[in-house]
């Protein structure tokens, strides 16, 4: 029964070098019904975990050690173009946001938002992600 | 040093030498030739690190940008 439930959950990979942000994001996506399949503390680990855990959604911090989020995004999407990538950053320029969106990121969340706002942003977009994942897996 | 002559160059900040004994005081401004290519290279290099001049994006701006891209892709 538990395995069947897991099969229907959206699989999420969190790539974030700050542990307290990882905890917040994990709590949010778990509350949305997703299953966290991996947590990476740097960009290289994110790319490796994306390849091994095959997540549907990746929440990627921009400023990470070893490999920044933008480069990690490109490598992850090279491995699986269907991954829904959501970038996270403390603060950035519109140009940086535009670049990530051009590289395939689906959305961009500022970590400077309060946790409630981050929850609201993810909750509002989540049904669309779930529908996309279901559609892809059903096809 | 006379009061009319600054101790440092007003352009580059370099220390000015004392005028020779008996030399006439310069009354006309010194015309400095700038290497514009060098300055442009410095400006370009420093721009990449000068966080202060960047305009920070807001979540509302991101929302509009994402929405615009989504409409385009439909």
pLDDT in tens, A29-60: 999 999 999 999 999 999 999 999 999 999 99
Q: Which residue of B has its CA nearest to A107?
A: B66
B53 closest CA partner among A48, A137, A93, A32: A93
B56 → closest Cβ in A93, A101, A117:
A93
CA distance A128 to chain B (A): 12
CA distance B37 to chain A (A): 26
pLDDT band at B7 (very low <50, low <70, confident <90, very high): confident
Residues of A in contact with B62 (CB under 8 A): 97, 107-110
Helix (H) or strand (E) holding A38: strand A35-40
Specify burial of residue A61 (Cβ count, 10 A radius: 0-12, 13-18, 19+): buried
Query: What is the maximum alpha-carbon separation in chain B?
Result: 81
Residue with tokens 């049904």: A127
Query: Do A92 and B55 lie within an 8 Å CB cutoff?
Result: no
Give CA–CA dist A136/A76, Å, rounded: 18
Query: Do B57 and A107 lie within an 8 Å CB cutoff?
Result: no
**Encoded tokens for B37:** 């290519």
A93 → closest Cβ in B54, B66, B69:
B54
Give CA–CA dist A65/A60, Å, rounded: 12
pLDDT at B33 over 80: no
Residues of B in contact with A110 (CB under 8 A): 57-59, 62
**Encoded tokens for A122:** 């993810």
**Encoded tokens for A62:** 């921009």
A124 closest CA partner among A28, A14, A8: A28
Is there a contact between A86 and A108 (Cβ–Cβ < 8 Å)? yes
Give CA–CA dist B41/B46, Å, rounded: 9
Residue with tokens 């996270």: A88
Domains and CATH numbers, chain A: 2-128 (3.40.50.2300)
pLDDT at A81 over 80: yes
pLDDT at A65 over 70: yes
């Amino acid at each position: 029964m538990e395995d069947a439930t897991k099969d229907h959950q959206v699989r999420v990979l969190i790539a974030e070098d700050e542990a307290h942000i990882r905890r917040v994001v994990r709590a949010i996506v778990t509350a949305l019904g997703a299953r966290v399949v991996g947590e990476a503390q740097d960009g290289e680990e994110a790319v490796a975990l994306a390849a091994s855990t095959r997540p549907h959604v990746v929440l990627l911090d921009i400023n990470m050690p070893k490999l920044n989020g933008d480069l990690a995004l490109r490598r992850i999407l090279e491995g699986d173009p269907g991954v829904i990538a959501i970038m996270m950053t403390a603060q950035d320029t519109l140009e940086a946001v535009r670049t990530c969106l051009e590289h395939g990121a689906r959305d961009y969340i500022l970590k400077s938002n309060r946790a409630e706002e981050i929850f609201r942003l993810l909750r509002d977009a989540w049904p669309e992600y779930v529908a996309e994942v279901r559609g892809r897996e059903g096809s | 040093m006379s009061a009319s002559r600054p101790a440092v160059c007003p352009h580059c900040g370099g220390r000015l030498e004392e005028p020779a004994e008996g030399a006439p005081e310069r009354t006309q401004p010194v015309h400095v030739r700038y290497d514009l290519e060098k300055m442009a290279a410095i400006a370009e290099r420093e721009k990449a690190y000068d966080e202060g001049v960047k305009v920070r994006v807001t979540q509302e701006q991101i929302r509009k940008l994402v929405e615009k891209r989504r409409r385009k892709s439909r």
